[in-house]
Amino acid sequence: MTDTLYREAILDHYRNPRNRGTLEPADFTYEDVNPLCGDEIRIDVRTDGENVTDVRFSGRGCAISQAAVSMLMEMVDGRPLDEVKAISREDLLDELGVPISPARMKCAMLGLKVLKAGIYGVPPSDDSL
Amino acid sequence: MVTTRTGNAVDWVRIRDEFPILASTGPGGQRLAFLDSAASSQKPEQVIAAVDRFYRETNANIHRGVYDLSERATAQYEAARHMVADFINAASAREIVFVRNTTEAINLVAQTWGRRNISAGDLIAVTTMDHHSNLIPWQLLAEEKDAHLEAVRVTDDGRLDMEHLGELLAKGPRIVAFPHVSNSLGTINPAAEIIRLAHDAGAVVVVDGAQSVPHMPVDVQALDADFLAFSGHKMLGPLGSGALYGKLALLDAMPPFMGGGGMIRKVGLTHSTWADVPARFEAGTPSVGDAIGLGVAVEYLQAIGMDAVREHEQQLTACAVDRLRDVPGIQLFGPDDPDARAGVLSFTLGDIHPHDVAAILNEENVAVRAGHHCCQPLMDRLGVVATTRASFYVYNVDEDVDCLVSGLHRAQAIFAS
């Protein structure tokens, strides 16, 4: 059997995405695309100022980008914002648990990029953070 | 049975063996099924050796050098130009300009003939199936000149809508640009007919030959093309080699593309005059070794015979189409008629993202392309974000089709479970 990128955990998140949907209203919403493949991800976050109280993602993409963002949802839901800010690409790669080639790195990291842009896009002095 | 123009049967397995990279294997020892030649082809031993030999034995800058090495390099470079001219039946080798690739060739036409001849309000006609390289140069020109750009529509089965072409031609476009063969769909467009109609409408015709010249006989005089752009690296030649064909009268009347050494006649501090064609369009030191390698690639293809190349690819494509239809969930794009389709197969597999399809095929050492293939407007027309594309060339054999089909079944199994 060939080693596969598509191990069961990734396929499970792809088929049964966690926290899929949108939040109306949300404390912040951010979306971005991967111009190489047209993948689109939007993330909506609600926060009480200290913790992520609810989070949803929507969009479309390959199994790697969709599974990675679904895993990311589990990593951040209910977590303190400071900890969410500290999540690194290595943390997410550990969660994915398969070697991601340079060509697929953008797919794997799209969700994290969107989340971070959303969080940092809100000025630190803003009361909603 | 495919035979060469000398009447001998072609041994396609022997041809495959002449491409060193195809002897490599994947991490699991799988043979390499290289099905991405529409992006760039592999190179036979003969081409690799010619480039190697150039740098070992003949390397020097060309033109004007009076020493032996430079004269030999110049002679080989110009001999390659003659081979390329002969390959597409140009009336003169002066009608061949060496460039890096199809993109550069089309930009050359847009920035010289286009800038001189297009003015505000003029119409430039392209097609919805053009590669971005035969679209963006015309968008840039239209923006600069305040000209209009309109695209011939594509039918549901991936052909140019000839009725719509007629409507656009009735508006009197100055330029008609189209792909001889679609890089995404494999559609072989009726080039001679389009060119005749466009000429009747008074247009100058720019043919993107990137996917036709490597794969079938192309005769620029029979087509009556004004310009034909193609890439050497897609036809067994080195990366960085390509050519623009232009009718001599058109090239002669065009201003330079880039300025620099090699393209001048006489230079003053404030005014200069230009070299004759094709030197006028080859400013700076060209990629001499790559052009020489392209000449050897042309000889290699001619030894097989372009009719035989086309027949081989048509057989592989027909076989692949038949077998792909058995893969559950597959949707093939492009014309069904094998005579209207080159060796390019674009498809989607259920709702599995093309990147995932390609990644699973890669795990079987099957190399295909996934994405929009530099054809975003065409993807919009087809209603898909991306497709997976397999493309064939001289070194592909039935076993490559086997690997593709079994890889697709595996992708289905992984995502269906």
CATH of the domain at B197: 3.40.640.10
What distance in Å separates residue B378's CA from the closest CA in chain A?
14
Count structural domains, chain A. 1
Going by C-alpha positions, the residue among B171, B161, B100, B65 that lies closest to residue B378 is B161
Which chain B residue's Cα is nearest to A37?
A: B371
Beta bridge partners of B214: none
**Nearest residue in A to B414, CA atom:** A6
Calculate helix-pair angle for A63-76, B354-363, nearest 10 degrees. 100
Residues B286 and B362 occupy one common structural domain:
no
Inter-chain CB proximity A2 and B356 less than 8 Å = no
Q: How confident is the model at residue B4 (pLDDT cuts 50, 70, 90)?
A: low
Residue A93 lies in a domain: yes
Question: Cβ separation of A2 and B364 shorter than 8 Å?
Answer: yes
Q: pLDDT-derived band of residue B2, with 50, 70 and 90 as boundaries?
A: low
Using the beta-carbon criterion (under 8 Å), do A38 and B386 form an inter-chain contact? yes
d(CA B321, CA B332): 8
Residue B384 structural domain: 12-43+305-416
Cross-chain CB nearest to A107 (options B352, B355, B372): B355
Q: Which residues does B53 contact at the CB level (< 8 Å), separation at least 6?
A: none
Place of tokens 């597959």: B330
Please give the positions of B annotated as active site.
374
Predicted structure pTM score: 0.92
A-B contacts (CB, under 8 Å): 49
**Residues of chain A with C-beta less than 8 angstroms from the C-beta of B409:** none
Residue B21 is assigned to a structural domain of this protein: yes
Tell whether B382 and B297 lie within a shared domain: no
pLDDT at A128: 36
Answer yes or no: is B7 within a domain: no
Q: What's the pLDDT score for residue B98?
A: 98
Same domain, B154 and B283: yes
- Asked if residue B2 lies in contact with residue B312, where contact means CB atoms within 8 angstroms, the answer is yes
Number of domains in chain B: 2
Name residues of chain A where pLDDT drops below 50.
1, 122-129
pLDDT of A124 reads: 38
Domain C-terminal end among B283, B302, B321: B302
Return the bridge partners of B206, or none: B177, B227
CB B103 within 8 A of CB B158: no
Task: Return the C-alpha torsion angle A83, A88, A93, A96, nearest 10.
Answer: 30
Contact criterion met (CB < 8 Å) for A63 and B385: no
Q: What is the 3-state secondary structure (H, E, C) of B141-181?
A: HHHHHCCEEEEECECCCCCECHHHHHHHHCCCCCEEEEECE
Specify the amino acid at residue B116.
R
Residues of B within 8 A of A62 (CB-CB) are 353-356, 359
Contact check, Cβ <8 Å, B414/A6 = yes
DSSP state at residue A97: -
- Cα gap B18→B40, rounded to integer Å: 17
Which of B47, B34, B14, B36 shows the shortest CA–CA distance to B232?
Answer: B47
pLDDT for A123 equals 42
In whole angstroms, give the CA distance from residue B105 to residue B244: 5
Residues B104-127, mean pLDDT to the nearest whole number: 98
Cβ(A55)–Cβ(A27) below 8 Å: no
Give the residue from B31, B355, B385, B412 with the most A CB atoms within 10 Å of its CB, the best one to mutate. B355
Query: Which pLDDT value is given to residue B28?
Result: 85
* Phi, psi of A37, deg, nearest 5: -130, 0
Q: Residue B119, class by beta-carbon neighbours within 10 Å (0-12 exposed, 13-18 middle, 19+ buried)? A: exposed
Q: What is the pLDDT of residue A86?
A: 93
> ipTM for the complex?
0.84
Q: Is B219 within the bounds of a domain?
A: yes
A36 is a domain residue: yes
Instruction: Please give the mean pLDDT across all residues of chain B.
Output: 95
Q: Which residue of A has its CA nearest to B29?
A: A2
For the stretch B294-323, pLDDT in tens is 999 999 999 999 999 999 999 999 999 999
Query: Which pLDDT score is estimated for A3?
Result: 66
Q: Average pLDDT for residues B324-334, to the nearest whole number?
A: 94
B35/B40 Cα distance (integer angstroms): 10
Axis crossing angle, helix B306-324 with helix B288-304, rounded to the nearest 10: 80
- Listed residues B236, B270, B302: the one ending a domain: B302
Same domain membership, residue B192 and residue B325: no
Residue A1 lies in a domain: no
Domain presence at residue A127? no
Taking only the tens place, the pLDDT of each residue in B183-212 is 999 999 999 999 999 999 999 999 999 999
Which chain A positions have a beta carbon within 8 Å of B363's beta carbon? 2-5
The answer as to whether B6 is a domain residue is: no
Tell me which residue range forms the domain holding A17.
Answer: 8-119
Q: What is the mean pLDDT of residues B260-286?
A: 95
CA distance B6 to chain A (A): 44
CB contact under 8 A, A4 and B372: no
User: What's A26's domain CATH number?
Assistant: 3.90.1010.10
Checking DSSP bridges between strand B204-208 and strand B175-179, what pairing results, if any?
A: parallel
pLDDT at B8: 65
Rounded to 10 deg, the angle between the B354-363 and A102-121 helix axes is 140
- Using the predicted structure, report yes or no on whether residue B233 has a pLDDT greater than 70: yes
Per-residue model confidence (pLDDT) at position A91: 95
Is the pLDDT at B379 greater than 70? The verdict is yes
Count other C-beta atoms under 10 Å from residue B398's C-beta.
14
Kindly state the average pLDDT of the residues B347-362. 95
- The helices-and-strands tally (H runs, E runs) of chain A is 5, 3
Asked whether residue B373 carries a pLDDT value surpassing 80, the answer given is yes
All residues of chain A having their beta carbon less than 8 Å from the beta carbon of residue B385 are 37-38, 60
Give the residue with greater pLDDT, B66 vs B112: B112
Measured CA to CA, the distance from residue A104 to residue A85 in angstroms comes to 23
How confident is the model over B121-168, as pLDDT tens digits? Answer: 999 999 999 999 999 999 999 999 999 999 999 999 999 999 999 999
Per residue, the 3-state secondary structure of B73-85, as one string, reads HHHHHHHHHHHHH
| Alpha-carbon distance B380 to nearest alpha carbon in chain A (angstroms) | 11
Say if A129 falls within a structural domain. Answer: no
Find the residue in A nearest to B411 (Cα).
Answer: A6
Distances (CA, A) of B39 to A97, B36, B239, B347, B373: 32, 6, 11, 16, 9
d(CA B260, CA B63): 14
β-partners of residue B126 are B151
Query: What is the model's pLDDT at position A127?
Result: 37
> Are B54 and B140 within one domain?
yes
Task: Give domain status of residue A124, yes or no.
Answer: no
Which residue is closest to B352 within chain A, CA to CA? A62
